Amino acid sequence: MVTLQALDPPKAVPKLIEDLTLLDEVSARTAGVSRLEMCIQCGTCGGSCPSSADMDHTPRMLFAMLRAGMREDSLKSNTPWICVSCYHCVVRCPQNVHIADVMYTLKGMAIEAKLFRDSTAPDFSQTFVDMVEEYGRGFEFGLATRHYLKHFPLRLPSMAPMGLGLLSKKRMTITPKRIKGIKQLKAILKRAKEVEGDSHG
Ligand code: SF4
Ligand code: SF4
């Protein structure tokens, strides 16, 4: 049996000296509660994450870096930008850490600090948002093909076996499906943008 720790082994992170300043800041800036301080470094998140292969650090590693006060390394990591908010890790985390919400916080902090260095990451994020606005949900096949065609066309052939495997196991569909309440969702998103515009204006 493959254990989750084997998928994201804790030994990949060197022993770090604790400095909770950054962790506390990220926690305070996360909407609601983050429960970041409850992370036990089990590695379930990285083992559950469909995007972890493209991440500089798995969520577990990133949280260890936050705990060690590694501000610049944490905010430069492409991990929050590669996160597609699928919530696989969130529902599996034994400590109920609000992983996806923390990723949003880190994106905001990285923009503020002008520290994100993966120029394709914001575009990946925007493509995901565009798809949610259009279909009401993520569309992994379209997201991956659009992103790789645009930024890494030479890597596409190596992605084919994984894509075919996901399609054959019905873990991914080849055509997008709109949610039933798409009109209502669009109205909510439109209103949210207006409110956001008001608060920034
Ligand atoms: S965030 Fe949750 S799943 Fe990830 S390492 Fe921490 S406790 Fe484990
Ligand atoms: S929410 Fe983000 S970090 Fe968690 S499994 Fe999904 S892509 Fe990975």
pLDDT of 116 above 80: no
Residues 88-106 have a mean pLDDT of 95
The two structure tokens encoding residue 129: 């948002």
Whether residues 140 and 57 share a domain: the answer is: no
Whether residues 97 and 142 share a domain: the answer is: no
Confidence of residue 10 (pLDDT cuts 50, 70, 90): low
Whether residues 134 and 107 share a domain: the answer is: no
Residues 55-79 have a mean pLDDT of 94
Domain boundary among 87, 118, 149: 118
Confidence of residue 167 (pLDDT cuts 50, 70, 90): confident
Whether residues 57 and 125 share a domain: the answer is: no
Whether residues 17 and 39 share a domain: the answer is: yes
Higher pLDDT, 119 or 157: 157
Q: For residue 193, what are the domain limits?
A: 119-201
- Which CATH number is 113's domain given? 1.10.1060.10
Whether residues 149 and 104 share a domain: the answer is: no
Residues 129-143 have a mean pLDDT of 83
Domain boundary among 71, 98, 118: 118
Confidence of residue 15 (pLDDT cuts 50, 70, 90): low
Cα dihedral across residues 111, 119, 12, 41: positive or negative: positive
Higher pLDDT, 78 or 201: 78
Whether residues 111 and 130 share a domain: the answer is: no
Whether residues 20 and 72 share a domain: the answer is: yes
Whether residues 49 and 146 share a domain: the answer is: no
Residues 40-49 have a mean pLDDT of 93
Residue whose Cα lies nearest atom 8 of ligand 1: it is: 42
The two structure tokens encoding residue 108: 């905001």
pLDDT of 6 above 50: no
Q: What is the DSSP string of 16-71?
A: ----THHHHHHHHHSSS---GGG-----HHHHH-TTGGG-SS-HHHHHHHHHTT-H
- Pocket lining: 39 vs ligand 1, CB cutoff 6 Å: yes
Whether residues 138 and 68 share a domain: the answer is: no
Residues 41-47 have a mean pLDDT of 94
Place of tokens 């992370």: 39
pLDDT for 194? 83
- Pocket lining: 97 vs ligand 1, CB cutoff 6 Å: yes
pLDDT of 2 above 50: no
Whether residues 132 and 90 share a domain: the answer is: no
Residue whose Cα lies nearest atom 4 of ligand 2: it is: 89
Whether residues 25 and 44 share a domain: the answer is: yes
Residues 34-61 have a mean pLDDT of 92
Domain boundary among 69, 95, 118: 118
pTM of the predicted protein model: 0.63
In total, how many domains does the chain have?
A: 2
Number of residues written out for the chain: 201
Tell me how far apart the alpha carbons of residues 98 and 102 are, in angstroms, rounded to a whole number.
6
From residue 113, alpha-carbon distances to 63, 76, 126 in Å are: 18, 9, 19
DSSP letter for 10, please: G
- Pocket lining: 49 vs ligand 2, CB cutoff 6 Å: yes
CA 114 to ligand 2 center in whole angstroms = 23
